């Protein structure tokens, strides 16, 4: 990819605001490229599958969107390398990356449809008649939302450090560990009861900062052999005290029930730790979390 290829790709991206398929004439006018150069570059973008072609013109693909985000991180001199997928048998939205300061981190790419979250009415109305770019906006909004929530919580709550966000992509701090689901808690340096209460304390801190995770379970707690852990995967978190109607993709109206979501998070943890002999009452835990 040459600088002019990136320029063309960004113009395709921007033009998606007004077009489902961007006409070649628009690209010619906006890039100022000669016909030959444009033809050459657009066929290169198509070959990389960064754009798709139809009789009506060109559109940005998911690959193209991924490439734009990654290129932005590289241009900022934030990352020097992208490695393989994190974990095995994953859908492939989280990758190992190497930061320029040689620190390891992870890159998380949001894909529309994976998470539901509240969206402002303004966006909903905007998207309603722009269905063809809703995936672009929705995936970007999801990433922005997760980044903002992490910024609120880090470093008070044990969550990944938010490092950078661009489009639908986040770079966050990495823990060399595994999902709680995949470790034998009895083999850790910490006893299950103690670990359970440590996690509950993080839930309480997050709550006092105004957030309920909303999808908490043994899949979204990462832990290493020393028993250090992080609570991950926050885009769907619920903001405490935001009552009333909210918008949820795909534009349905739902009402948050904080007690329901918080209790469900706690129940999931309880259920998992039960097999390690932890036995606490849900109501007691709930009251502990919400008390000031």
Report the catalytic residues.
215
Collapse the DSSP code of 279 into the 3-class scheme (helix H, G, I; strand E, B; otherwise coil) and give the result: coil
Of the candidates 60, 220, 247, 269, which one interacts with ligand ATP according to CB under 6 A? 220
- Is 174 one of the binding residues for ligand ATP (CB under 6 A)? yes
Residue 29 has φ and ψ, to the nearest 5°, of: -65, -45
- Is 97 one of the binding residues for ligand ATP (CB under 6 A)? no
Of the candidates 13, 66, 233, 265, which one interacts with Mg ion according to CB under 5 A? 233
Residue closer to ligand ATP by CB (options 93, 148) is 93
Is residue 58 within 8 Å of 9, Cβ to Cβ?
no
- Please choose which of Mg ion, ligand ATP, none residue 91 contacts, taking the beta carbon within 5 to 8 angstroms, the exact cut-off set by kind: ligand ATP
Is residue 228 within 8 Å of 177, Cβ to Cβ?
yes
- Please choose which of ligand ATP, Mg ion, none residue 175 contacts, taking the beta carbon within 5 to 8 angstroms, the exact cut-off set by kind: ligand ATP
Q: Which of 54, 51, 6, 14 is nearest to 30 (CA)?
A: 14
Burial environment of residue 290 by CB neighbours within 10 A (0 to 12, 13 to 18, 19 or more): middle
CB of 118 to Mg ion, least distance (A): 19
Residue closer to ligand ATP by CB (options 81, 277) is 81
Task: List the structure tokens of 14.
Answer: 């921007």
Of the candidates 8, 9, 68, 106, which one interacts with ligand ATP according to CB under 6 A? 106
Of the candidates 172, 185, 216, 238, which one interacts with ligand ATP according to CB under 6 A? 172
Residue 225 neighbours by CB under 8 Å, 6+ apart: 177, 188, 189
Residue 64 neighbours by CB under 8 Å, 6+ apart: 9, 12, 13, 45, 48, 49, 50, 51
Site residues for ligand ATP, 127-166, by CB under 6 A, read 160
* Positions that interact with ligand ATP (CB under 6 A): 86-87, 90-91, 93-94, 106, 108, 114, 160, 172-175, 179, 219-220, 222, 232-233
Can you give the binding site for Mg ion, defined by CB under 5 A? 220, 233
């Amino acid at each position: 990819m040459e600088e002019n290829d990136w320029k063309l790709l960004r113009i395709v991206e921007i033009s998606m605001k007004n077009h489902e398929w961007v006409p070649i004439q628009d690209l010619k006018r906006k890039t100022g490229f000669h016909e030959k150069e444009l033809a050459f570059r657009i066929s290169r973008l198509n070959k990389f599958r960064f754009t798709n072609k139809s009789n009506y013109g060109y559109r940005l693909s998911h690959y193209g969107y991924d490439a734009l985000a990654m290129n932005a991180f590289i241009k900022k001199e934030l990352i020097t390398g992208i490695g393989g997928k994190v974990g095995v048998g994953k859908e492939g939205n989280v990758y190992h990356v190497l930061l320029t300061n040689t620190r390891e981190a992870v890159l998380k790419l949001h894909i529309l449809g994976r998470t539901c979250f509240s969206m402002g009415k303004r966006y909903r109305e905007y998207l309603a008649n722009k269905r063809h770019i809703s995936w672009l906006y929705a995936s970007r909004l999801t990433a922005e939302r997760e980044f903002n929530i992490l910024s609120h919580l880090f470093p008070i709550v044990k969550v990944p450090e938010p490092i950078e966000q661009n489009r639908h992509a986040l770079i966050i701090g990495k823990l060399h560990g595994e999902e709680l689901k995949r470790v034998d808690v009895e083999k850790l340096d910490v006893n299950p009861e103690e670990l359970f209460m440590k996690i509950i304390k993080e839930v309480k801190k997050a709550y006092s900062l105004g957030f309920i995770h909303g999808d908490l379970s043994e899949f979204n707690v990462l832990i290493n052999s020393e028993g250090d852990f992080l609570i991950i995967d926050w885009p769907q978190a619920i903001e405490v005290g935001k009552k009333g109607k909210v918008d949820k993709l795909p534009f349905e109206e739902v009402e948050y029930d904080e007690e329901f979501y918080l209790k469900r998070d706690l129940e999931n943890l309880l259920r998992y730790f039960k097999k390690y002999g932890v036995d606490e009452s849900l109501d007691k835990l709930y009251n502990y979390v919400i008390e000031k």
